[in-house]
Amino acid sequence: MLVMACAMFGAGMASAQQLEGRVVYERTVQMQIRMAGMEGSEQMLPRTRTDRIEVLFGNNQSIRRTLEDDTPDDSQLGNGSGAQVRVMIAGQDDISYHNFAEGRIIEQREFAAKTYIVQDSISKLNWKLTGETRTILNQVCQQAVAQRISTRVAVNFDNGVVKREVVPDTTNITAWFAPSIPVPAGPEYQGQLPGLILAIDINNGRTVYQAVELSPKVDLAKIKEPKNGKKVTPEEFKKERDKALEEMQRNGGMQFRRARS
């Protein structure tokens, strides 16, 4: 139904459509910050962090990575002795490759000084069109909404004991995609909508992606699978990540988390 509706929306468009290009997104993340042994210092840190994401698409594939930012970073905390703590967004150094024709995802993920290659298939949420439209970078976009219901492991550090609990986790997603660019690429939820995603709002502003640059020029040779790292399944990566997080929390120290999206 979603595809048919978009086909009707795009009827009458010019036959020459953009099938490759480069998009730059600004990603703004709300952060939840806990600092063991330094209660009250959280007020000295900003509540959001913004970075930039680059997505290259073409040949029915895409690749996503975070762009390096040389501007001064105000999301730091000094302790008066010259030492500073920089707040990082989880996964900001990851590389994500999608092959839409084959329905494959290959992600290069870094965690605890290790690099992993996580292989998976593209899954799809139950998206619904709302009928609302919005123009982004001169592209008329359709609004689609979806909800992801899952669980997550909540880890708490209480009196030297690490406690883990599985809790419900519901994510509400609003995406804006351009049917005039019939490529299912984007900063997240790639391969799920029949047009380039130019904006996403996750959980009412917890995480927001907004396209700020769109170009038909792209180096197609850069759209290739990442290969450097230990090959694991999503389940294997999750186990190793949880184990490393538990170890870090057991050792105490500062804990920084982005708000869950």
In this prediction, what percent of the chain has a pLDDT beyond 90? 56
Does pLDDT of 229 surpass 70? Answer: yes
Between CA 67 and CA 97, with CA 24 as vertex, the angle to 5 degrees is: 70
Enter the pTM of the model: 0.77
Please give the radius of gyration of the chain, using alpha carbons only, rounded to the nearest integer: 20
pLDDT at residue number 160? 60
- DSSP assignments along 70-123, one per residue: -S----EEE-SSS-EEE---TTTT-EEEEETTTTEEEEEEEETTEEEEEEEE--
Q: Is the pLDDT of residue 59 over 60?
A: yes
| Higher local confidence (pLDDT), 246 or 43 | 246
Residue 96, amino acid: S
Report the relative pairing of strands 114-121 and 230-232 from DSSP bridges.
parallel
Q: What tokens were used for 175?
A: 């995406």
Contact at 8 Å (CB) between 218 and 21? yes
Question: How wide is the angle at C-alpha 162 spanned by C-alphas 161 and 166, nearest 5°?
Answer: 140
Element (H, E) at 8: helix 2-9
State the number of CA atoms in the 13 A half-sphere of 94 facing the CB.
Answer: 18
Q: Give the whole-angstrom CA distance, residue 28 versus residue 16.
A: 33
Give Cα 215 to chain centroid, integer Å: 21
Q: Which residue has the higher pLDDT, 110 or 138?
A: 138
DSSP-derived 3-state class of residue 237: helix
Residue 108 above 50 pLDDT?
Answer: yes
Phi-psi label, residue 168: left if phi above 0, alpha if psi -120 to 50, beta otherwise: beta
Backbone angles phi, psi at 169, to 5 degrees: -145, 115
User: In this prediction, what percent of the chain has a pLDDT beyond 70?
Assistant: 69
Rounded to whole angstroms, the Cα distance separating 124 from 146 reads 10
* Count of Cβ atoms closer than 10 Å to residue 7 Cβ: 12
Quickly state the pLDDT bin for 8 (edges 50, 70, 90): very low
Mark 78-104 as b/e (b = at least 16 C-beta within 10 Å): eeeeeeebebebeebebbbbbbbeeeb
Residue 174 has pLDDT above 60, yes or no: yes
Average pLDDT value for the chain? 81
